[in-house]
Amino acid sequence: MRYQRPRASAVLFASAVGATALFSGAVPAANAAPTPKVQNPGLEKAGGALPDCWAKYSTGNNTGTFRSVKDGQRGSKAVRVSVTRRTGGFKALLQKPGCAVKVDPGKKYDLQLAYKSTSGKTALTVFRQQKNGKWVKWHTFPYLPASAKYRLSVGRTPPVPAGTRAIRFGQGLYGTGTLTTDNYRIAPAKGTAKCVGSECTRGHWTVEDFGNGGVKAIHSVLLHNGKVLLIAGSGNDPGSFNAGTFVTKVYDPKTNRFTNVPTPYDMFCAGHVQLADGRVLVLSGTEEYAEYDAVGNETAGWKGSKQSYVFDPRTNRYTKVNDMVDGHWYPSATILPNGDVYSVGGYAFERANGDTGGNKVSLVSELYSASRKRWLPADQVAQTGINWATYPSLHLTTKAAALFYSGVSVFSHPVNGDGTLLGPGFLNPTTGQWGALPNNGNLRRPEARDQAASVLLHPAQAQRVMVIGGKNFATPEPSIRLTDVINLNAANPRFVAGPNLPHGVIHYGNGTDAPARRQTGAQGKTYVSAVLLPDGKLLETGGSEGNRSDHVHGTSILDPVPSVSKMKWRPVAPDPVSRSYHSSAVLLPDGRILAVGSNPLDNSFDTRISIFHPPYLYKGGDAPKITKYTKGLTTGSRPTVTVSGPAVTKASLIRPIAVTHSSDPNQRSINVPVKALGGGKYRLTIDTRKSVVPPGWYMLFVQTKSGKPSTAQWVHIK
């Protein structure tokens, strides 16, 4: 697949007649269809309201118009499509059925047109005519950006399915705005399709605006049906809390629609983790909001709820489990190798000594037993007595199933008995034994890692944790750009300096989108989101330089090469929406990334959803497709998968994200060795260690040598 901006040579090419270097192909066989040709390609020949051989196409719920305009790319005429209202579907100028392009089954074709648009939601869209004469939508390429000037939309089709008689294609307008198109071309594919447009290196964002119909997404969980659980609870709104108005919605990225879920209590700032069966355990939340006097002094602190529920994606319903021993507002939640869940930290319901004041960190360690399906009493759980603060990032490791605390937390940091910083170290949840790393494990600026991102880099087997950005909220200094990496497989694990975050555009102010911007400078990030990608790389996006203010829009991708000194962030397209406090980002099964939420200092809440189309979606060539796989997998399995399309060289298992406040210590991407068996079949080898592959649902991605991934196949590993 190939996209490029028109240059002078491109315009000349678009008007050329006959074979060209781009679209020339092999001499067709004697029984092949004639050389494909678009009739009236420049839209110059009049045919009524629209050019001869061209027709309007509209599907879904949207309102708009089609009209010929004197605004051609090279000639005088073009066609403009306008959409003024849309809740679904799209509009496109297509060839009339009688002017459809004859094609040969089994062959690929290069398509091209020129377009300009005010919308960032336009995509080259192809229909095919089946043997029975029925027209069906066949293939849609990724969205392309808005452009005030003509640019090219070029795509290579997959092989034409058997029984196809002809195709029609055009640029679809999938959002409100205008789209002008001209100069359509088709030719048999030849050589390797190359990606040369800006999307190939920077990707492309689209934004969905729901107005009052959106959700204050504070918690985001990818479900194993491909939908996203978005939990607001009271949404950081004491009025909603007092009224008992609590919100959960399930978002379907395929339909762009929400399903409302009855929410039994205030899950605002709860913990959550995916259980081995794919259900989501939600723990604690808000028991009491803080209270303030007339001048803003806090008179009563936050308290955590003891309640806990399990969400079932099959029914979109919560089911109550027994209460926790204590409340834990902002708790950790880490799955263990046997499927149990370990949790510490967060503000208590009340202290064991009867202290009922708020803002008191619970000292109770909690364990959810997967086999008993309940929280265990405190005397059946090894207690540490440690003040774990709030949302401490505890990663499951291969060191005797110990948990590694990376030094990242929220609103404060874990402390020792004398009040000093606890710092990174290892915790054994079975015995309660804690071992701090000397000198904070050489983590730079440990006091400034509040709401940093903490992520286990790909592959999980390498046991390298990266800490990204953060801020010291006890001072007015801005967020930091530092990243640090630690190898937990080392005999004496210590952090080493990673690459600084790149510069990014800042929106200054406390609201959602302040008008002033800055392109240069040493911008750090807190509230930053980190997402593991199917090609083994890491994406960071969103965040702010200040306390819920001065939002940094930059997005970048890191290749976690073995040598930390050679790691480098590569800037890609920035999210158009400010994403700060209470924001998160989620990898979707089709390889796109969803970014949601933002709750700046003025306490407004952005309910727009941004979708990032990474550069690998625009790579040339077909994406591989998993068509068959072995079910009933366990650690150590050696399943066979069947893949259509190009050969694959790599595979990975990615645990679906469950994130809040930049924190999901369970996120992991596991390398799966691949052996080609011939005939599109491959033998995979899943790691034998449950500390690497804890039980649950995973997205299985395969990718080509060029790094183009498949859409994920959901697999369940026991």
What tokens does 80 get?
Answer: 């403009």
Report residue 356's pLDDT band, with 50, 70 and 90 as the boundaries. low
Number of alpha carbons in the 13 Å side-chain half-sphere of residue 715: 31
Q: Which helix (H) or strand (E) holds 312?
A: strand 308-312
For residue 17, pLDDT over 90 is answered with no
**Closest Cα to residue 255, out of 55, 493, 89?**
89
**Closest Cα to residue 464, out of 485, 438, 449, 440?**
485
For residue 279, pLDDT over 90 is answered with yes
Per the listing, tokens 């398509």 go with 111
For residue 376, pLDDT over 90 is answered with yes
Going 344 to 347 to 348 to 354, the CA torsion angle's sign is: positive
Q: How confident is the model at residue 401, as a pLDDT?
A: 76
Q: Which of 79-88, 502-511, 609-618 has the lowest mean pLDDT?
A: 502-511
**Closest Cα to residue 168, out of 42, 29, 44, 55?**
55
CA–CA distance from 347 to each of 93, 161, 631 (Å)? Answer: 58, 59, 42
Q: Spell out the long-range contacts of 592-597 with Cβ–Cβ below 8 A and sequence spacing 24 or more.
A: 592/253, 592/617, 593/531, 593/533, 593/539, 593/541, 594/220, 594/228, 594/253, 595/529, 595/541, 595/542, 596/217, 596/220, 596/228, 596/230, 597/216, 597/217, 597/218, 597/220
Give 486-531 pLDDT, tens digit per residue.
999 999 999 999 999 997 777 776 655 544 455 445 579 999 999 9
Q: φ and ψ at 353, to 5 degrees?
A: -85, 10
Give 301-316 pLDDT, tens digit per residue.
899 999 999 999 999 9
Q: How far apart are CA 243 and CA 633, in angstroms?
A: 46
Give 409-466 pLDDT, tens digit per residue.
999 899 999 999 999 999 999 999 999 999 999 999 999 999 999 999 999 999 999 9
Q: Which amino acid is at 496?
A: V
For residue 8, pLDDT over 80 is answered with no
Per the listing, tokens 């990724």 go with 142
DSSP lists the bridge partners of residue 609 as: 208, 596
Query: Rounded to the nearest 5 degrees, what angle is found at the Cα of 536, between the Cα atoms of 532 and 541?
Result: 35
Report residue 291's pLDDT band, with 50, 70 and 90 as the boundaries. confident
Q: How confident is the model at residue 27, as a pLDDT?
A: 38
Per the listing, tokens 């694990």 go with 493
Q: How many CB atoms lie within 10 A of CB 473?
A: 18
Q: How confident is the model at residue 299, as a pLDDT?
A: 75
Q: Can you tell me the mean pLDDT for 678-692? A: 97
Sheet holding 658-659: strands in order across? 257-261, 247-252, 228-233, 219-222, 658-659
Q: Which of 75-79, 193-197, 319-323, 483-487 has the lowest mean pLDDT?
A: 193-197
Percent of the chain residues past pLDDT 90, beyond the cut: 84
Q: How confident is the model at residue 620, as a pLDDT?
A: 80
Per the listing, tokens 């409340």 go with 327
Q: Which of 197-206, 332-341, 517-526, 630-639 has the lowest mean pLDDT?
A: 517-526
Q: How many CB atoms lie within 10 A of CB 431?
A: 11
Give 574-591 pLDDT, tens digit per residue.
999 999 999 999 999 999
Contact 203, 56 (CB under 8 A): no
What tokens does 364 get?
Answer: 């109770």
Q: How far apart are CA 522 and CA 480, in angstroms?
A: 9
Q: How far apart are CA 657 and CA 216, in angstroms?
A: 18
pTM over 0.85: yes
Q: How confident is the model at residue 2, as a pLDDT?
A: 41
For residue 324, pLDDT over 70 is answered with yes
For residue 351, pLDDT over 90 is answered with no
Q: Residue 615: helix, strand or coil by DSSP?
A: helix
Q: How far apart are CA 281 and CA 703, in angstroms?
A: 32
Give 175-228 pLDDT, tens digit per residue.
999 999 999 999 999 988 877 678 989 999 999 999 888 999 999 999 999 999
Q: Can you tell me the mean pLDDT for 237-247? A: 97
Percent of the chain residues past pLDDT 70, beyond the cut: 92
Q: How confident is the model at residue 353, as a pLDDT?
A: 53
Domains in the chain, please, with CATH?
8-197 (2.60.120.260), 207-617 (2.130.10.80), 620-717 (2.60.40.10)
Q: How far apart are CA 430 and CA 344, in angstroms?
A: 13
**Closest Cα to residue 650, out of 706, 590, 714?**
706
Q: How far apart are CA 131 and CA 66, in angstroms?
A: 30
